[in-house]
Amino acid sequence: MIRAMTERSASPTIRPARTSDAETLGRLGALLVEEHHAFDPARFIAPGPDTPRGYGRYLASRVGKKDAVLLVAEAEGAVVGYAYAGLEGPDWMALRGPAGVLYDILIDPAQRRKGVGRALLTAILEALDQRGAPQVVLFSATQNETAQRLFAAVGFRRTMVEMTRDR
């Protein structure tokens, strides 16, 4: 699951997150909130001044949990992305059995299109496979076509469409 950076390859190092990564995870998580809010402000919450701290604290609280997988990508010694997934039991409302659920994957904008996202996605899928997840599901913002292409390239298929109605 762990990949090391070499001189010939720009592949990042993928490693389990540590609680000491909380500040960077929070900054990246706030970017995720900001991007989604920009996609559709009526659907997604707006980031606030406490978003980085709160998001980082939440993600750090998931480190080492049996039902969670939280990985980071490092390039040149700095965390440049993360992926967060969980193992869930059957969900009657989602009409599915036990599954791995990919909640977040976010790459620092300066590091995108360098293979970091694919490396993180591959690593988190391997980790979920090793933990026995029979399938992996995720949600993607409709406008996030770049991410959807990456997900399709590693075998995800469309199965649901979320629709929102505002008052």
CA distance 73 to 35: 20
Instruction: Tell me how far apart the terminal alpha carbons of the chain are, to the nearest angstrom.
Output: 46
Beta strands (DSSP E) in 20-133 are: 68-75, 78-88, 99-107
pLDDT band at 20 (very low <50, low <70, confident <90, very high): very high
Sign of CA dihedral 121, 146, 29, 140: negative
Instruction: Output the average pLDDT for the chain.
Output: 92
The secondary element (H helix, E strand) that includes residue 33 is helix 22-39
> pLDDT tens across 23-34, in order?
999 999 999 999
What is the predicted pLDDT for the residue at 5?
A: 39
Report, as an integer, the average pLDDT of 56-70: 97
Contact 51, 94 (CB under 8 A): no
What is the predicted pLDDT for the residue at 11?
A: 80
What is the predicted pLDDT for the residue at 13?
A: 95
pLDDT at 4 over 50: no
> pLDDT tens across 133-147, in order?
999 999 999 999 999
CA-based nearest residue to 12, from 85, 104, 110, 117: 117
CA distance 34 to 19: 23
Describe the chain by its helix, strand, coil percentages, rounded to 5: 35, 20, 45
Tokens of 166: 């505002």
CB atoms inside a 10 Å sphere around CB 92:
6
Q: Name the 3-class secondary structure at 19.
A: helix
